[in-house]
Structure 1
Amino acid sequence: MKADIRLMVTADGSHTAINEGLDKPYHSIHGAYQESQRVYIELGLFQAFKEFPETELYIFEMGFGTGLNALLTAREAQMHKRTIFYSAIDAYPLPIDDAGQLNYDELFGTSYLPKLHESAWNEPIHINPYFTLVKNEIKLQDFQTANRFHLIYYDAFAPTAQAELWEPEIFAQMARLLLPGGMLTTYCSRSYVQRNMRAAGLTVEKHAGPLHKRDVLRATKQVE
């Protein structure tokens, strides 16, 4: 099933999509790019580069959405010459026609967006020499894999829209997907979300968020 969406330009000039059914944006209306850059690239990817300097990185994204997080990660993989295997899931993908109108390639000088959205599901696709993507059209609760990940981008819709994706059992599932020392980053810093992460055995840190967002979270699975 495809998402029913409309596009809007956020305050930093980058697009977000609005899910009409949930009446929720995929990214902050104060700036889609600046939110993704802060939460997932700076706090997630750059930290993973430091923590795992000598290995290929495995990243899991909950909520492929517009493809912005994947595009920014592919760009950094190319720039830093770090090999990344990127798995993403989305139960309700953006329609191809809408995805084709997103302005990310224009903004960032890349040419990744068509391949990110038009590539086949459930098959590895090489976006550039350092970045391989596998998309799965599936709900998180039904997702299973033998892979374990250095980093999780947790980019589900807000708890007010999809409360079931912020429950203790979900973060227990995420903890099982992480390698020792692996990290999860998310924009949502609600107290009960922090408690649910800790109940899953994760160590939780609050960090300064992007514009108009005081706190965001990075959670780490301790080395066994």
Structure 2
Amino acid sequence: MNEPLSFEEAKIEVCTTADGSPTLYVPALDEHYHSRHGAAQESRHVFIEAGLGPLLAAGLGQHEPLQLLEVGLGTGLNALLTLEAAQAAGAAVAYTGYETVPLPPAAVGALAAQWASNPVLSRVFTELHTMPWGMPRMLTPNLLLAKKQQQIQAVALPASHYNLIYFDAFAPEKQPELWTEDIFHNLYYTAAPGAVLVSYCAQGQFRRNLRAAGWLTEKLPGPPGKREMTRARKPV
């Protein structure tokens, strides 16, 4: 199993993507945290529009928080866009994010300008990166965040708990240990009946591993720069 790289080992760089939003690049892996064709654009397309949006439209998060699990908290982009969507829908989200390599202050500072025009999102972005690991915090009335510095494969996840899973690990060829059938069995176990899993990845083996774990999969049009993405559901 590959050990996660530290920021010093990875020499992570900040770069601007095609839609003007920033992301991080890891030269050691030759991998971007989000698409170089548009980081914010990709995140909205894959995680918000294909994942969160339909659940909010169905009324989840109105009477009790929508339970959301992210594998790969990273820059916090998905979490901030989730908060934005939850606020617009008047919904509440309990967000649990797993990450093994926290961002250093320099990277947080470089990414902060993306949120400067929105005082709430700007504050939440900073707090997301500075709050203690393993201690849930109500960042706004719409967002309870628990961030965990752990490898997802080493965690005993609760049964039938999460309504939505953002699977945002680095690509299968970069982090193969996170794309195994065992991982998706564990995620199936922790997903509530009817839960949705979304990922930017459309690799055939990824979808086969999902199906072997019990998920029902579908291909959807991908964001700019990608032909397809994947959405999966746990049967009710």
Q: Assess same fold via TM > 0.5.
A: yes
How many residue pairs end up in the alignment?
A: 223
Q: Residues 82-101 of structure 1 correspond to what in structure 2 (within 5 A)?
A: 82-101=91-110
Which of 212, 217, 220 lines up with 2:230 in the alignment?
Answer: 217
TM-score when normalising by structure 1: 0.94
Which of 168, 187, 192 lines up with 1:174 in the alignment?
Answer: 187
TM-score when normalising by structure 2: 0.90
Q: Residues 15-26 of structure 1 correspond to what in structure 2 (within 5 A)?
A: 15-26=22-33
The structure-2 alpha-carbon separation of the partners of 1:108 and 1:192, relative to structure 1 and needing over 3 Å to count, comes to farther
**Match for residue 163 of structure 1?**
176
Q: Which amino acid aligns with 2:221?
A: A
The structure-2 alpha-carbon separation of the partners of 1:7 and 1:58, relative to structure 1 and needing over 3 Å to count, comes to same
Q: State the 1:49 CA deviation.
A: 1.3
Output the CA distance in 1 between the equivalents of 2:185 and 2:126. 34
Correspondence 1:133 to 2:140: no
Structure 1 contact 2–95 (Cα < 8 Å) conserved? no
Output the CA distance in 1 between the equivalents of 2:228 and 2:52. 18
Which of 124, 127, 139 lines up with 2:136 in the alignment?
Answer: 124
Structure 1 contact 204–219 (Cα < 8 Å) conserved? yes
Q: State the 1:95 CA deviation.
A: 1.0
Quote the sequence identity (%). 39
Unmatched segments (≥5 aa) in structure 2: none
Stretch moving more, 16-25 or 134-143:
16-25
Q: State the 1:165 CA deviation.
A: 1.0
Unmatched segments (≥5 aa) in structure 1: none
* Corresponding residue SS for 2:70: strand
Which whole-Å deviations, capped at 9, do the CAs of 1:8-58 have from their partners, x for residues lacking one?
000000011012332211000000001000000000101221345354200
Stretch moving more, 135-144 or 106-115:
106-115
